[in-house]
Amino acid sequence: MTETQQEYFGELLLDKKIVSALHHMGFEEPSPIQAATIPLALAGEDIIGQAQTGTGKTAAFGIPIVQNITDRRGVQALVLTPTRELAIQVAEEISKIGRTAHVRALPVYGGQPIERQIKALKSGVEIVIGTPGRLIDHLNRRTIKLDKVRFLVLDEADEMLDMGFVDDIEAIMDYLPPERQTMLFSATMPRPILSLSKRYMKAPKTVAITKEELTVPNIQQYYFEVKDKVEGVCRLLDAEIEGKVLIFCRTKKGVDDLNIALSSRGYLVEGLHGDLSQNQRDRVMKKFREGSCEVLIATDVAARGLDIDNISHVINYDIPQDPESYVHRIGRTGRYGAEGVAMTFITAREFRQLKLIERIACTHIKRRQLPTADNVIERQREQILSKVRTVLELNSFAPYVPIAEDLLEDYEAAEALAAALKLGQEGPKALEAPAEEKLREDLQNTGGRPGMVRLFVNIGRSQKITVRDIINSIAIEADIPARDIGQISIYDRFTFVEVPEAAAEKVLAAMDRNTIKGYRVNIEPAKLRR
């Protein structure tokens, strides 16, 4: 037996190679149908899986099949799909899953010259994805051998039955070894499917992920790519949020940590999670309702069933696990026709998950930048003025006067005073160069051609990186057109790549600490050698 290394994908322990492929595909964690079916599939069970379109059923069977293919002895898995488009799509997805493990998948469908398919089949593939009609064709011509098939998948089974493929499916099953694992996936489960499964499956386990209709409330939705989330929340609270805020964290610990971080910065916040007693919960809710606390931090579970209106903002401090939870969370604001705003924080690596939420919840989440320190100060103007006036009236600043006089010898009065205010307002942070400014400066001198910025990437030829890898990763992760990417120079240990000025910050945010071909990426503005 060959030793295979394993790694976690969410809660699932899978082949390391597969996990690396999944990360490359931008998958962060299993979708609910995947989390529910993959362990059963790996345990050898027959499965009936029901979940809506777009919930990731392909990988739900693709992952366990790829993981179970450990040799190159012919076609070992057969996937039946109703249409050629689906066959192609499923084959593409499975090829991606199997890429690092070198498991090959081939679509076989009507409308493509059969000779080409015969040639491809001869060259050796482990997984065939086909439409029933064309498969029967191959079986009649004896150009496909299915006697090694250990896995059969009926994908989109309801559609196949609707299209009248029952007889074809049953005919194909006669060619398969009886010792096999059968999985059936479908968005709906009409009766004929159940009778088919009774005849051809062995004690199938049913996994149903049924959903209520997702209706996204009509509120403003934004997302922010943030490096420092605590700082992000503070900026929003300081510069623009008015009214009651509900902040969602993924875990209890997340709630506690953020509670401490915000409290210690002087915000009136309360945390809510499953560890609180009923009494404590009631107390928190009372404060929030009455307004002596304006910011409530909660986990999804704790927020369930909370009865609170007039929340003006929901902040997803951690991106929700799935589209349902996103819709539930943001539904807490904008009640009764009031204007609501939902803000979601993502790290660069979570961009894909955001896109999945958008797609499945059929909504659009606009990208936004956090308010700047200037925005915050604008809003705090009155407060700062009144504080300074109070100090002046108290007339208690005598020890500082000689220092002020020293400063005034070298600086304009307004400058000196502004610097002192900044120090008073921001503390030690005032002593650092602003990060955005430094980045903007760095982006100006990268040696890129006009309109372009040259970026340095810490991987190169020794990692077997190709121009195509670079283009694909950047185009997909940063969501920019591949043709916008400029010159790429690959060296042994690093690579230079040019991207348009306007996209540079986005590319940096999306790629830094991301991976290309499984290698951890550091990316930064290139420096000109002087």
Q: Please name the amino acid found at residue 335.
A: R
The least CB distance from residue 196 to ligand ADP, in Å, is 19
Range 436-440, long-range pairs (CB < 8 A, 24+ positions): 436/372, 439/505, 439/508, 439/525
List residues binding ligand ADP (CB under 6 A). Answer: 27-28, 30-31, 34, 51, 53-59, 93, 352, 356
From the list Mg ion, ligand ADP, none, pick the one residue 30 interacts with, judged by a Cβ distance below 5 to 8 Å according to partner type: ligand ADP
Q: Is 356 exposed, middle or buried (0-12, 13-18, 19+ CB in 10 A)?
A: buried
CB 237, CB 302: distance < 8 Å: no
Helix (H) or strand (E) holding 272: strand 269-272
CB closer to Mg ion, 90 vs 490: 90
Residue 359 C-beta: closest distance to ligand ADP, Å:
7
User: Do the bridges between strand 6-9 and strand 12-15 make them parallel or antiparallel, or are there none, so unpaired?
Assistant: antiparallel
Please tell me the distance from the alpha carbon of residue 491 to that of residue 459, in angstroms, as a whole number. Answer: 8
Nearer to Mg ion, 145 or 355 (CB): 355
Closest separation in Å from C-beta 190 to Mg ion? 17
Distances in Å between the Cα of 434 and the Cα atoms of 147, 232, 263, 404, 431 are: 66, 15, 25, 25, 9
If the CB atoms of residues 9 and 496 are measured against ligand ADP, the closer one turns out to be 9
Taking the least distance from each CB to ligand ADP, the nearer of 156 and 505 is: 156
Per the structure block, which two tokens stand in for 292? 């002596």
Indicate the residue among 261 and 476 with the shorter CB distance to ligand ADP.
476
User: What are the structure tokens assigned to 155, written together?
Assistant: 């994908």
Which one of Mg ion, ligand ADP, none is in contact with 473 (Cβ closer than 5 to 8 A by kind)? Answer: none
Write down the least CB distance from residue 26 to Mg ion, Å. 18
In 267-370, alpha helices (H): 278-290, 300-303, 323-330, 351-360
CB of 129 to Mg ion, least distance (A): 11
Closest distance of CB 522 from ligand ADP, Å: 24
Nearer to ligand ADP, 60 or 311 (CB): 60
Which one of ligand ADP, Mg ion, none interacts with residue 356, CB within 5 to 8 A by kind? ligand ADP
| Alpha helices for 69-190 (secondary structure H) | 84-98, 114-122, 132-141, 157-162, 166-174
Nearest to 341 by CA among 221, 496, 166: 221
Task: Decide whether 477 or 498 has the Cβ nearer to ligand ADP.
Answer: 477
* Contacted by 524, from Mg ion, ligand ADP, none: CB < 5 to 8 Å by type: none
3-class secondary structure, 316? strand
Residues in Cβ contact with 53 at an 8 Å cutoff, skipping those fewer than 6 apart: 187
> Which letter does DSSP use for residue 48 in this model?
E
Distance CA 363, CA 365 (A): 7
**According to CB under 5 A, which residues from 367 to 426 bind Mg ion?**
none
φ, ψ of residue 296 in degrees (nearest 5): -115, 130
157 belongs to the binding site for Mg ion (CB under 5 A): no
> Residue 269: beta bridge partners?
295
Q: How far is the CB of 136 from Mg ion (least distance, A)?
A: 22
> What does 451 bind: ligand ADP, Mg ion, none (CB cut-off 5 to 8 Å by kind)?
none
Residues 46-105 that bind Mg ion (CB under 5 A): 57
Work out what residue 395 binds among ligand ADP, Mg ion, none; the CB cut-off runs from 5 to 8 Å by kind.
none
Residue with smallest beta-carbon separation from ligand ADP:
56
* Count, residues near Mg ion per rule CB under 5 A: 1
> By Cβ distance, which residue is nearest to Mg ion?
57
Interaction mask 184-223, Mg ion, x per CB under 5 A: ----------------------------------------
Q: How far is the CB of 87 from ligand ADP (least distance, A)?
A: 13
To ligand ADP, the closest distance from the beta carbon of 518 in angstroms equals: 17
CA dihedral of residues 131, 134, 140, 144 (deg, nearest 10): -70
**Is residue 334 a contact partner of residue 219, using CB atoms and an 8 Å limit?**
yes
- By beta-carbon proximity to ligand ADP, the closer residue of 30 and 271 is 30
Taking the least distance from each CB to Mg ion, the nearer of 207 and 233 is 207
- What CA–CA distances, in Å, run from 308 to 244, 282, 320, 475? 10, 12, 20, 42
CB of 156 to Mg ion, least distance (A): 6
* Of 5 and 53, CB closest to ligand ADP: 53
Say which entry of Mg ion, ligand ADP, none residue 27 contacts (CB below 5 to 8 A, set by partner kind): ligand ADP
Interface contacts to Mg ion, rule CB under 5 A: 57
